[in-house]
């Protein structure tokens, strides 16, 4: 059977491969908390990969949910790295099961819903696939203030998911998914046909900026309570938010080219932002 340490190492490989942003932001936590973050991320990544890359995602995500249900009942569904690491994490922290179930529900949404009419619909989806991550992490990062920090964590999750949506318009389009609210596009005179033609014009940038402004407001709401986190957790949470928010500026520097170019934050930019996070 895989050792707990080896299981955590594999979770670390997952986060470092798929999200250098999160890996860097949370890399300064004490070891026990850092490992727990790796395990939570690996859970979320597994659910996401099932929906995006699974051969039969509808049945596979149901099986994954059944496995988590078994895990929640105190059983080890399989002797693989994810469940071994997650079991250790749950033994060390007072974790809440509900955000994990909500995350799976959010992944299932991607199997049945390809278009979103309003920002409210997008926020509902964003809670399930992103805010839940913050709620999973609160018992690890700020166990004594998780109730006080709940709304801020939800806001940060929505902000980050809106950022993902604004960055990944082209990649999502390739999967026939459009998370950009239809009513925002119509308001600015931008159509789905234009989106499919990958047109970048004033209508597109105006619609994009309206959603970016919403994201900025959610960042502000999420960061408003950052001082409530223990200092060891405050820095990585703030750094993650600053790293993600910088993606919006990266898209702007790319002249809103989201169809053929992926926006990213450079190592140098992350170093500057990390200093800002440490400064407080």
The CATH code of the domain that includes 237 is 1.10.600.10
Q: Is residue 149 part of a domain?
A: no
Taking residues 74-80, report their average pLDDT. Answer: 91
Rounded alpha-carbon distances, angstroms, from residue 93 to 15, 86, 136, 146: 20, 11, 11, 12
Q: Indicate the residue among 77, 112, 147 that finishes a domain.
A: 112
Provide φ and ψ at 86, rounded to 5°: -65, -40
169 and 266 in a single domain? The answer is yes
Whole-number pLDDT of residue 278:
84
Same domain (yes/no): 247, 195: yes
Q: Enter the pTM of the model.
A: 0.93
Residue showing tokens 């996401």 = 48
Last residue of a domain, one of 77, 94, 112: 112
Looking at the fold, whether 278 and 160 belong to one and the same domain comes out as yes
Kindly report, residue by residue over 131-151, the tens digit of the pLDDT.
999 999 999 999 999 999 999
Return d(Cα 250, Cα 265) in angstroms, integer. Answer: 7
**What pLDDT score was predicted for residue 280?**
63
Domain boundary among 79, 112, 145: 112
User: Number of structural domains, the chain?
Assistant: 2
pLDDT for residue 10 is more than 80: yes
Same domain, 76 and 194: no
**Are both 107 and 171 inside the same structural domain?**
no
92 and 178 share a domain?
A: no
Q: Domain residues for 55?
A: 1-112
């Amino acid at each position: 059977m895989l050792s707990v340490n080896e299981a955590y190492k594999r979770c670390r490989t997952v986060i470092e491969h798929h999200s250098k942003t999160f890996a860097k932001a949370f890399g300064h936590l004490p070891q026990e908390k850092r490992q727990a973050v790796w395990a939570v991320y690996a859970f979320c990544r597994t659910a996401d990969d099932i929906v995006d890359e699974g051969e039969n995602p509808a049945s596979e995500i149901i099986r994954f949910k059944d496995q988590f249900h078994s895990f929640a009942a105190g059983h080890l569904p399989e002797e693989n790295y994810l469940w071994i690491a997650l079991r250790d994490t749950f033994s060390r922290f007072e974790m809440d099961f509900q955000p994990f179930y909500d995350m799976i529900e959010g992944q299932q949404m991607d199997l049945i819903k390809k278009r979103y009419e309003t920002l409210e619909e997008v926020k509902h989806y964003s809670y399930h696939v992103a805010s839940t991550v913050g709620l999973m992490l609160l018992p690890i990062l700020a166990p004594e203030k998780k109730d006080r920090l709940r709304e801020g964590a939800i806001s940060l999750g929505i902000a980050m998911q809106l950022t993902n949506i604004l960055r990944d318009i082209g990649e999502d389009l390739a999967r026939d998914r459009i998370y950009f609210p239809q009513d925002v596009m119509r308001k600015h005179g931008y159509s789905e046909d234009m989106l499919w033609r990958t047109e970048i014009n004033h209508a597109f940038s105006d619609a994009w900026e309206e959603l970016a402004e919403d994201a900025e407001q959610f960042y502000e709401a999420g960061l408003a309570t950052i001082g409530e986190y223990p200092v060891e957790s405050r820095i990585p949470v703030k750094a993650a938010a600053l790293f993600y928010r910088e993606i919006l500026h990266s898209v702007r520097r790319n002249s809103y080219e989201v169809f053929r170019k992926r926006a990213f934050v450079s190592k140098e930019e992350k170093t500057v932002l990390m200093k800002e996070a440490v400064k407080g």
